[in-house]
Amino acid sequence: MRKASLNRHSTVLLFVALATVVFVMARESRRSLWMVEKIVDIKYRVPDIDYRYLAKRLAAGAPDTLIFDTREPAEYATSHIRWATRVSWRMPVAQFMKTYGAAIRGKHLVFYCSVGERSSRFVQRIREAALKHGALSVANLKGGIFRWYNEGLAVYGPSGKTDAIHPFNARWGRLLKKRSG
């Protein structure tokens, strides 16, 4: 009983500490992608996949992995991770299962958006149904396409590889690193 109480107490202290850091940094307008990732982790308790791990899997071919982009059509059209399929993060679970149910059997599913907020919401809603339909795993790409892009990994637009990335809006766009060249 005491151990459970300590775990709750530790969780509350961690949340208060992170909330304090977030508040101070937000007040000073020094948002960082790392900070946003931590907020998403606390807010949405969903499995994450690291960009390095996903990049290695994709480089190896990863026939057992499906990638879904949950951003808006204009964001996806600007650029996306290669082989990603765009789905609306608002899509009802039943519609997702009807459309992709057969394709997800025996696959690892990875969802992303700009920073992980929308894709985490979507993962939260569909995870149980996807696993029941035979998906091997359902995860959010930690840091989204912004982390992917900031780490120098390739994104693709209508004409192939590109350095363009949709900023979502001016505030969130400040989390992107400019690419030289």
pLDDT at 68 over 50: yes
In this structure, the chain runs to a length of 181
End-to-end CA distance of the chain: 59
Segment 59-63 long-range contacts (CB within 8 Å, at least 24 positions apart): 62/108
What integer is the mean pLDDT of 35-43? 92
Q: Is the pLDDT of residue 26 over 60?
A: no
Q: Report whether pLDDT(15) > 80.
A: no
For the chain, domains (ranges, CATH) are: 47-173 (3.40.250.10)
The per-residue pLDDT for 1 is 46
Q: Read out DSSP for 106-146?
A: T-EEEEE-SSSHHHHHHHHHHHHHHHHTT-SEEEEETTHHH
Average pLDDT over residues 140-168: 96
CA distance 55 to 40: 21
Amino acid at 110: V
Separation between Cα atoms, residue 111 and residue 142, nearest integer Å:
9
| Among the listed residues 112, 131, 134, the one whose alpha carbon sits nearest the alpha carbon of residue 121 | 112
Q: 18 versus 142: which is more confidently predicted?
A: 142
Give yes or no for residue 24 having a pLDDT over 70: no
Measured CA to CA, the distance from residue 5 to residue 132 in angstroms comes to: 33
Which has the minimum average pLDDT: 11-20, 70-79, 117-126? Answer: 11-20
Question: Do 27 and 19 touch, CB atoms closer than 8 A?
Answer: no
Q: How far apart are CA 32 and CA 115, in angstroms?
A: 11
Instruction: Write down the pTM of the prediction.
Output: 0.83
Question: Which of the two residues, 62 and 157, has the higher pLDDT score?
Answer: 157
The pLDDT of residue 11 is: 76
pLDDT band at 12 (very low <50, low <70, confident <90, very high): confident
Q: What is the pLDDT of residue 17?
A: 67
Mean pLDDT score, 158-177: 93
* Confidence check: pLDDT of 30 > 50: no
How sure is the predictor about 154, in pLDDT bands with cuts at 50, 70 and 90? very high
Specify the pLDDT at position 178: 85
Q: Is the pLDDT score of 129 beyond 90?
A: yes
